[in-house]
Each structure stands twice: as C-alpha cells, then as structure tokens.
Amino acid sequence: MTPVIDDTHDPARRSWVESANRPGCDFPIQNLPLGVYCGIEDVSVRIGVAIGDFVVDAGLPGGSLNAYFALPATQRRDLRKALVKKLEAGSRPCELVPQSECSTWLPAVVGDYTDFYASIHHATNVGKLFRPDNPLLPNYKHVPIAYHGRASSLIENGVPVRRPNGQLAEGKFGPTRELDYEVEVGAFLGPGNALGEPIPVARAREQVVGVCLVNDWSARDVQRWEYQPLGPFLAKNFATSVSPWVVTAEALAPFWVDAPAHDVPVLPYLQEAGSGALDITVEVWLRTKALAEPHRLSRGQFKEMYWTFGQMIAHHTSNGCRVRPGDLIASGTVSGPEKENRGCLLELTSKGAEPVRLPDGETRTFLEDGDEVILTGYCQRPGFARIGFGACRGAVLPAVVG
C-alpha cells in the first residue's frame, strides 16, 4: 500500500476557523480527526471533527465510528475532501461547538483489544531490570509479542482511574503500591477479514484506519506476582485510557518512514516492503496535587519501534484470527535508547531505585493518588502541516478498601 498524498495535505491551506490556523495547533485543516461527542445543551451523541479549538458535526450517522472504520479507503478519502471543502477559508461557516464545552466518548464500540510489546528498547530496559544477563527472550526478534486485553476496561479520555486491588508479590491482597502508566500508540482497524483468512503483510497497513494515543495503566507489583506463565491479567485489565480523537490514515499519509532494520531475519510472512513505520512523537506529562503545571517526564519516537503496525496485523491474523471494524491494537510502551525516551515509570526509575525528581522537589517512583498523567503526540515533517493527536488524560483515585 502506498499512502496517498494529495491537495488535502497542502500546508498552505487555511480554514475559516481561525484557531485552526494557529502555529502549533493540534487540529489544523490538514488533520480533521474524527471522534464521538456531545454538547452541554444538546446531549445527543454524534460523530464530530476536531478543527482548531472546536468541533464540527461530521454529518455521519450513528454514535460510533465503527461504520466509518468499515468503509473502503476511497470512500474515506472522499469524506476527507468534503470536510476540507466545508471548512476551508472562503466556505460558508457552519455551527461550531467549543471543545471545552463538549464531552467526548470512546470513538468506537471495541469488540477486541490486543496489546503488543513492539519496542525493543522497552523490552531491553525492562529485561535488564529482571534478567540483567539475558534481557531479551529468545523469541523477541522473531515474533511480535502480544496479549489479548480487556475491551470492557477501555475508558474515555479524562475518566479517573481507581487504584486497583490485587494479590501482591508478598502473597497479600490490597491496593497496588506500584501503579504505573504506559504511553502507547493505538490503531483502530477495518474493514477486517473473514475468519480463517490471514491478512498478508503487503495488505496489512490498509487495515489501519485511524490512530490514537493509549495509556495502558499497570500495577507492577501485581504483575510480577501473576504474570508467569500466561502473561498479564489483573495487573493490566482494570483500565486502559484511549484518546478521544482518531487521526485518520489519510491525514497520516505523509508521515510513513522506513522502519529500523532487523539484525535477525524474519520469516517471509513478516517481511514488509516499503515505509512501514509512522513518525509520531509521543510525550508523557505529570501533574500532581502540588504541581499546578504539568511536568514532562519523557519524549519518545514511535518510528523506532522494532515491529510495525503492518507486521503486528499480519502476525495477529496469520492463524486466521478475525479482526472487525473498530477492533483496537496498541503498540506497547513507546521507549527509546536514552533515559528521557523511556515511556513508563518502571523504566524511568529503574524499578523504583532512581526516583524521578519534579520541579517542586517532589519525587516519584510510581504514581500517587491525585496524580494526573497526560499523554500527547504529534507528527511533524518539513513541507507539511503539523498533525496533533490531542491529549489522553487520566487522574488516579484512591483504592476501594474494605
């Protein structure tokens, strides 16, 4: 699949929505991400387009993007062109709703959610904490590792996260003392495949209809105790935050780049030609009860992931597993080679041994009650408009004890 770059990506294009023309705006007219929203007065749930600081009704039926994810690429491109025409400078203005006066919802009814482990930097950093002499397991460079998540625990942007209880490493039950975040990039899939029919890697990227930010909240002490031999369970399935605005595959067309070279040959069904990586910068910010302004904890590059979305999808369906419109896959923690690139506190603090120091003198090894984690992301390339992802927010509430 060759991404289609056309006049909708022209950086000179302007909107009659003035805030969309502001330098550094996440949602210029070249972006037009889709989401599900309602206003304060009109509480009907609708599909909208983020433009500048506002939302415009996209004119699509229903209260989820599942039907949109099922459309062929040609129809999605036609819709994009129609929205650009509607919002470009010189067109007749239509009704705008300030984003500050909107509630947003999960973009889709997610039937299945799969979380990958695609960053070799993350896998190596974490592996060194537990297996210093053998950080990467033998299969890592041969197969995209993943586990099936819990779709019922996917939550909307801004919904607080209750500190979970669980069995701890000492064999006791109680609130996790090592609550963590994981900054990830998610892909909503469509139109899908029939059961028993693998999606070849050459066609796999066609299934990436839109991209979002994902925070896969994690209870590290619970995880250590439970994860062998079958992998994460209660340490992961209590909450996964999803950003509200889905940046479309069409908006991302200019930002596909070459993936890092593999030093171990992969099997033919995973050999991907062309530019398979997406050049997305992701950042993690932390606001505490005492810290009025959020502090940036890390910045990572999604293009450095060892496995691409195409390879993830090809492997996911290689046994004939069915994917359906609105299914969500996530990349796993986005980390890089330097400490400032590490996408979770487990890595940043070396399992709690090196606390993070905040500007007001506070320190963190893991998250405390009242902390708010904010994920942001953007694509940037000379000759094209900056494309933002908005924010994925979640604050920590105390555990239910009793």
Residues serving a catalytic function are 122
The sign one gets for the Cα dihedral 114, 347, 376, 161 is positive
**Residue whose C-alpha is closest to residue 158's, from 102, 110, 218:** 102
Cβ atoms of residues 297 and 271 within 8 Å: no
Chain centroid, CA 226 distance in Å? 25
Show the CA angle centred on residue 240, arms to residues 62 and 194, nearest 5°. Answer: 55
Q: At CB < 8 A and 24+ separation, what contacts does 347-351 make?
A: 347/122, 347/125, 347/126, 348/297, 348/298, 350/129, 351/129, 351/220
CA angle, residues 113, 117, 123, in degrees to nearest 5: 160
Could you tell me the sign of the dihedral formed by the alpha carbons of 28, 34, 40, 44, in that order? Answer: positive
Q: Give the whole-angstrom CA distance, residue 54 versus residue 27.
A: 9
Alpha-carbon distance 214 to 48, whole Å?
20
Which pairing describes strands 387-397 and 161-162: parallel, antiparallel, or unpaired?
A: parallel
CA angle in degrees (0–180, nearest 5) for 185-187-191? 175
Cis peptide preceding 135, ω within 30 of 0: no
